Amino acid sequence: MAVVIESSIWEPNPWVYVFLILACLSSILVFPYASKNYNSSTKTPAVFDHGVSSPSFLRFQRNFLLIYSLGSVMEGLWSVFGEFELAYYGISREQMVLYLCCGYAAALFLGTFLGVLSDLIGQKKVCLIFCILHLLVGLWKRIVAHPSILVTSIFLSLSTSIFSFSFETWMVVQHEKQGHRQDTLNETFWLMSFFESVSLIGSQMLANWLIGNKAEKTIISSFQVLVLFAVVGIICVARGWTEIQRTTTFKEYKMSFCAYIFGDKRIWLLGWAQACLHFSIAVFWILWAPTLVADGREVNLGLIFPCLMGSRMLGSTVFPWLIGGLSSVRTEDCLVYAFIVLGLVVSIIAYDYQEIGVLVMLFCLYHACTGLILPALARLRTMYVPNELRGGMISLSQAPAHAAILLLVMQRWYSQNIGNSMIMAIAALGLFSAAGGMHMLKRWGKQPYQNWHKL
pLDDT in tens, 373-419: 999 999 999 999 998 899 999 999 999 999 999 998 888 777 677 88
Domain assignment present for residue 33? The answer is no
pLDDT tops 60 at residue 115: yes
Q: Are residues 236 and 256 in the same domain?
A: no
Comparing 274 with 245, which gets the higher pLDDT?
A: 274
Distance CA 272, CA 407 (A): 18
Comparing 228 with 248, which gets the higher pLDDT?
A: 228
Of the pLDDT bands very low, low, confident and very high (cuts 50, 70, 90), residue 440 is very high
Q: Are residues 333 and 266 in the same domain?
A: yes
Comparing 114 with 33, which gets the higher pLDDT?
A: 114
**Average of pLDDT values for 125-141?**
91
Q: Are residues 222 and 255 in the same domain?
A: no
Confidence (pLDDT) at 454: 37
Q: Are residues 384 and 239 in the same domain?
A: no
Q: Are residues 240 and 276 in the same domain?
A: no
Domain assignment present for residue 7? The answer is no
Predicted TM-score (pTM) of this structure: 0.90
Confidence (pLDDT) at 49: 47
**Average of pLDDT values for 422-445?**
92
pLDDT, tens digit, 9 for 90 and up, residues 319-378: 988 887 656 678 899 999 999 999 999 999 988 767 888 899 999 999 999 999 999 999
Comparing 380 with 51, which gets the higher pLDDT?
A: 380
The CATH number of the domain holding residue 62 is 1.20.1250.20
Q: Are residues 378 and 230 in the same domain?
A: no
Q: How many residues does the chain have?
A: 455
Q: Are residues 236 and 88 in the same domain?
A: yes
Boundary residue ending a domain (229, 247, 265):
247
Confidence (pLDDT) at 338: 95
CB atoms within 10 A of CB 249: 10
Distance CA 63, CA 198 (A): 16
Domain assignment present for residue 344? The answer is yes
Q: Which of 152, 71, 160 is nearest to 108 (CA)?
A: 160
Domain assignment present for residue 108? The answer is yes
Q: Which of 128, 113, 87, 204 is nearest to 402 (CA)?
A: 113
Domain assignment present for residue 118? The answer is yes
| 3 state SS of 256 | helix
Q: Are residues 281 and 418 in the same domain?
A: yes
Identify any residues that bridge with 44 across adjacent strands, giving them in sequence order. 39
Confidence (pLDDT) at 352: 73
DSSP 175-221: HHHTT--TTHHHHHHHHHHHHHHHHHHHHHHHHHHT--SSHHHHHHH
Q: Are residues 219 and 91 in the same domain?
A: yes
Of the pLDDT bands very low, low, confident and very high (cuts 50, 70, 90), residue 300 is confident
pLDDT tops 50 at residue 452: no
Cβ atoms of 437 and 272 closer than 8 Å: yes
Phi, psi angle pair for 214, to nearest 5°: -120, 140
Task: Quote the Cα angle for 166-171-172, to 5°.
Answer: 100
CB atoms within 10 A of CB 131: 25
| 3 state SS of 91 | coil
DSSP 95-116: HHHHHHHHHHHHIIIIIHHHHH
Confidence (pLDDT) at 116: 92
Q: Which amino acid is at 13?
A: N
**Average of pLDDT values for 246-257?**
83
Boundary residue ending a domain (215, 232, 247):
247
Cβ atoms of 339 and 373 closer than 8 Å: yes
Number of domains in the chain: 2
Q: Are residues 231 and 271 in the same domain?
A: no
Q: Are residues 79 and 167 in the same domain?
A: yes
Q: Which of 96, 85, 84, 189 is nearest to 137 (CA)?
A: 85
Q: Are residues 237 and 255 in the same domain?
A: no
Distance CA 229, CA 177 (A): 29
Could you tell me the residue range of the domain that residue 283 belongs to? 249-446+451-455
Using CA atoms, how far residue 329 sits from 325, 383, 421, in Å, is: 9, 16, 35
Of the pLDDT bands very low, low, confident and very high (cuts 50, 70, 90), residue 438 is very high
Of the pLDDT bands very low, low, confident and very high (cuts 50, 70, 90), residue 241 is confident
Domain assignment present for residue 313? The answer is yes
Comparing 279 with 448, which gets the higher pLDDT?
A: 279
Confidence (pLDDT) at 293: 82
Confidence (pLDDT) at 198: 94
Domain assignment present for residue 330? The answer is yes
